[in-house]
Structure 1
Amino acid sequence: MTQPDVTVIIGAYEAMPYLVKCLESVENQTLDAARIEVIAVDDGSTDGTGEYLEKFAERAAMAVTVIRQPNSGGPSGPRNVGLGKARGRYVFFLDADDYFGPEALERMVAMADEQATDVVLGKVVGVNRTAPKSMWGKTRPRTDVFSSNIKFTLSAQKLFRRELLTRHGMQFDESLQTGEDALFTMEAYLRADGVSVIADYECYYLVGRDDGKHVTKSGGYTLRFDSARALMGLIAEHVPAGPRRDALMIRPLLITLLPQFGPGFLKQSEKVRRHRLELAKPMLDAYWHEGVASRLKVHERLRLHLVAQGRGDLLVDVLEFIKAKKAPEVLLESRGRKAFLAYPHFRDPSAGIPDSWYVPTTRETVTIEGFKPRTTRFSRLRRVARRVLGARRAA
C-alpha cells in the first residue's frame, strides 16, 4: 500500500454540527485524495458524531479510519490514538470544530518537502473567536522558535513530520487537562530541523463554538498553573539558562501565568487570591529574573514582580489602576535620558520596588505631555523628551 503524504488526525467529542463543515473541508482539499489519510477518533460522543464519521468514511475518496472509544476526558487521548495509527509522512491534528482552507494541505506538504523542515505553520484565522496574529507578518520558508514569533502559537494545528515525532517518542501529555498541545508543539519546535511559516494563504479556520464548549474556555484556574509549570519545565530541560531561554519563558509567563493576575483577580476571595500567589511562587522563584523581566511592558513586569514577592496587597492597587484604564504619568529625568512610567507605588518607600521596574521598553507605547504622536521606541522617546524639556525651559 502506498504511503500517504499526510495523515489528518481528528479527535471528535460532541462535535455536531461543526463536524459537517470540518469534514467537507477535508474532502475539498486540492491535494490528491490518494495522498491523504484520515484517522478520526470519536471520544464517546452522544450527539451523532460517531455515526456521522462512519458515514463520511463510507463515501470519502481518501482512506478513512474511524475509531470509537469511551470518553477519555480531554483531547490528548484521541490525538495519541490517531498518532499511533498514522501512516503518513506528515501528520496534521485537525480539531472537529474547525476547518481547512482548500489548498492548506497541498501548500503545507509542498513547503515541508521543498525546505526539508519538520514543522509547518499555516496561517490561522479566527471565526467567532480571536486567533494568534504576530507570527503571520510574512512567509518564512525556514526559521526556528528563537528567530520568530512562533512561540506565541502553540496549538496542535500544525503539520508535523511524523518521523520527528516517532524518533523522539513524542505524544500528548494525557495528565494535563489544558495546555497539553502547548507542551507538544514547543517540544516539536525545539527538536525540529527547521520550521516553516505560510503567511500568504489562510490555511486553518479556528472556530469559536456558539455553545461555549471549546476546550480552551473550560477548566478551573489551577489547570492553567499546571500548564504553565509543565511548559516552563520543558523549556528549562531543553534550553540552557541564558537569553535564549529567557526569550521562550516569555510565552508561559505572559500568556498562561499573567492572566491569572489580571483585573479578574480583584473579584476573587482572599482565599483564592492567596492560593493563586502560592501556586505561582515556585515557578517565579525558579525562572523570574531581570533577563526575563526586561522583555515585558512595565505593567506586566510590575505585576509579576509583586506576585513573586507575594505582595497581593500592592498587586490589587496596580490592578485597580489598570482596570480604571488610567495612563501612567511619564516622568523624565537626567535631561531626558531617563523615563519612568509612574504606575502605583513608584518610589513608595514602604513598597521597596526598584526604579528599574518602571522603565519602559521598546514594547511600550507612551505619550509625553506636549507631544501628541505616540512612540514605542525608547531612543525616540529620549529625543522627544529633550525637545519637550527644551520647550519648557524656553517658556
Structure 2
Amino acid sequence: MIIGAYEAMPYLVECLASVEAQTIDPGRIEVITVDDGSTDGTGEYLEEFAARAAMPVTVIRQENSGGPSGPRNVGLGKAAGRYVFFLDADDRLGPEALERMVAIGDRNGTDVVLGRIEGVNRGAPKSMWGRTLERTDVYSSNIKFTLSAQKLFRREFLTRHHMRFDESLWTGEDAVFTMEAYLRADGVSVVADHTCYYLVGRDDGKHVTKSGGYALRFDSARALMNLIAELVPPGERRDQLMLRPFLVTLLPQFGPQYAKDSEKVRRHKLELAQPLMDAHWNEGVAAQMKVGERLRLHLVARQRAELLLSVVEFVRAKKQPAALLERRGRRVYIAYPHFRDARAGVPDAVYLAGAREARAFPGYREGGTPSVLRRAVRRARRALRSSGSATPGGRAAAA
C-alpha cells in the first residue's frame, strides 16, 4: 500500500482509518507513506499512525516534488509485497477492498485488478462496473475509461517492465502508467459487485486533476496517444484505445469553456491540438463518437476556428439539434450548425449518427447494412437468374 500525501489533513484521518479497517490480515499489509513536504500536520499524523498501527508502516518525509508521481515512485522503490496499491491520502478504501482484490488476482493470476469506485462529493467512472470480470483485457471491456492509479498491480510485473510514473507530467501521469499496465498485463480482473474505493471531493478543491493550466492537458493527451501508438499497431484496436484521450482529455478543451476563452487562448489551443490531430485523428476514431463530439474534433483537425466557435456556442446553450431521416429511416443525420452549408463544406458523413445514437430518434430503422444472410440470399438469386438466362426459355439446364 503506497500513500502519497500532501496537505492531506483532515482527509488523511479517514483514509488511514479505512486502511486499519481492512479485513485482510494486518501482517499481510505493508504501508509506505510519503509526505511530500506538507505543512499542515500531515507528516506528524503519519508518524503517529505508524507508531500505533497493527501493520508495518514506513514514513518517508521529503521536500515537495510538485505532483503525485514523485511520491508514488519513491514508494514503489521501497515496496516489497506481492501487490502494490496506490491510495490517495484524501480518498479511502471500501470495507474488504484489499481482501477481495487480492483474492480475485490470486485466483486468476492477473497482473492488474480494478475495484469498483464510487464518488463522494464528486463524479466517478461508471461504465466498467456492469459485472465482475474474472479475467479480461483493455479491448474487451470499458476499463480504458478508468485510468487513475487506484488499482492493484502485481509488483513483479511492474518491476519486470521497469514501470514508473512520468514525473515530467503534471497531470494525467496516472493515465499513462495505467494504460501501459493494461497493455502489458497478462490479464485484468474487475471487482464490480463491491465498492472498493471512494473518491472524495475535497472542499478546498485541491485535486491535482483540477489544477494547472490548459496546456498541461495537451501534454497529457500527447503522452497517452504516443504510448498507445508505440504499443499498439495501426488498426481497429489502436483506434479503439485512441478514443479515450480524444474524448476524455482533448475534447473538453473545446467544450463550453472554449467559448469564454480569449481569442489568444482559443488560437493557442488549436495550435497545441494540431500535431495531435495530424498524428492520430482518423475515420476509425471518429466513427466511435457521437455527432456533436465528432464535429468539434473534425473542425479542430481542419483548424476551422470560425466554424468551431459557433458549434461550441450551440453546445454551450444546450440546444437540441434536429434530426433528418433518409433512406426510409435507415440513415439519421443530426443537424448541428453548418450541416449541408455549402460555404462551410463539412462532409455529410461528419453528421451521420451511428446506430446507438440513431436509436434515440423515432422512425429510425435498424439494418441499413444488409445482413450476411441477406447478402447470401441475394447472391444466390443472382446466380440462379444468371444460370437461367443461359438456357432456352429461361430455365436452368438439367444436370
**Fold-level similarity (TM above 0.5):** yes
Kindly indicate whether residue 75 of structure 2 is the aligned counterpart of residue 82 of structure 1: yes
From 354, 361, 379, the equivalent of 1:361 is: 354
The superposition leaves residues 324-383 of structure 1 with CA deviations (integer Å, 9 ceiling, x where unpaired) of 2222111122222322111111111111111111111134266546x6xxx8xx61799x
From 279, 302, 311, the equivalent of 2:272 is: 279
C-alpha distance in structure 2 between counterparts of 1:366 and 1:316, whole Å: 28
- The CA RMSD measured in Å over matched residues stands at 1.4
8 Å CA contact retained: 1:330, 1:366: no
Deviation at 1:305, TM superposition (A): 0.2
Which of 78-87 and 355-364 deviates more?
Answer: 355-364
The letter of the residue matching 2:274 is K
Unaligned runs of 5+ in 1: 1-7, 383-395
Kindly indicate whether residue 85 of structure 2 is the aligned counterpart of residue 92 of structure 1: yes
Q: Percent identity?
A: 74
Corresponding position of 1:341: 334
Corresponding position of 2:251: 258
From 96, 101, 108, the equivalent of 1:108 is: 101
Change (3 A) 1:144 1:367: closer
Kindly indicate whether residue 50 of structure 2 is the aligned counterpart of residue 62 of structure 1: no
Kindly indicate whether residue 302 of structure 2 is the aligned counterpart of residue 315 of structure 1: no
The superposition leaves residues 302-340 of structure 1 with CA deviations (integer Å, 9 ceiling, x where unpaired) of 000000000111011111211222221111222223221
C-alpha distance in structure 2 between counterparts of 1:325 and 1:76, whole Å: 38
Kindly indicate whether residue 212 of structure 2 is the aligned counterpart of residue 225 of structure 1: no
8 Å CA contact retained: 1:172, 1:184: yes
The superposition leaves residues 253-272 of structure 1 with CA deviations (integer Å, 9 ceiling, x where unpaired) of 00000000001100011110
Change (3 A) 1:380 1:337: closer
Kindly indicate whether residue 38 of structure 2 is the aligned counterpart of residue 11 of structure 1: no
Kindly indicate whether residue 153 of structure 2 is the aligned counterpart of residue 160 of structure 1: yes
The letter of the residue matching 1:247 is Q
Corresponding position of 2:43: 50
C-alpha distance in structure 2 between counterparts of 1:274 and 1:125, whole Å: 37
Secondary structure of 1:364's counterpart equals helix
TM-score normalised over the length of structure 2 = 0.90
C-alpha distance in structure 1 between counterparts of 2:115 and 2:66, whole Å: 28
Which of 345-354 and 116-125 deviates more?
Answer: 345-354
Corresponding position of 1:5: none
The letter of the residue matching 1:15 is A
Unaligned runs of 5+ in 2: 370-399
Kindly indicate whether residue 123 of structure 2 is the aligned counterpart of residue 130 of structure 1: yes
8 Å CA contact retained: 1:10, 1:95: yes
The superposition leaves residues 32-84 of structure 1 with CA deviations (integer Å, 9 ceiling, x where unpaired) of 00000000000000000000000000000001000000000000000000000
From 178, 193, 197, the equivalent of 2:186 is: 193
The letter of the residue matching 1:379 is E
8 Å CA contact retained: 1:118, 1:192: yes
Corresponding position of 1:183: 176
Change (3 A) 1:90 1:334: same
8 Å CA contact retained: 1:232, 1:252: yes
C-alpha distance in structure 2 between counterparts of 1:274 and 1:320, whole Å: 16
C-alpha distance in structure 2 between counterparts of 1:240 and 1:81, whole Å: 33
C-alpha distance in structure 1 between counterparts of 2:171 and 2:207, whole Å: 11
C-alpha distance in structure 2 between counterparts of 1:38 and 1:186, whole Å: 25
C-alpha distance in structure 2 between counterparts of 1:362 and 1:227, whole Å: 31
Corresponding position of 1:26: 19
Which protein is bigger by CA-based radius of gyration?
2
Secondary structure of 1:379's counterpart equals coil
TM-score normalised over the length of structure 1 = 0.91
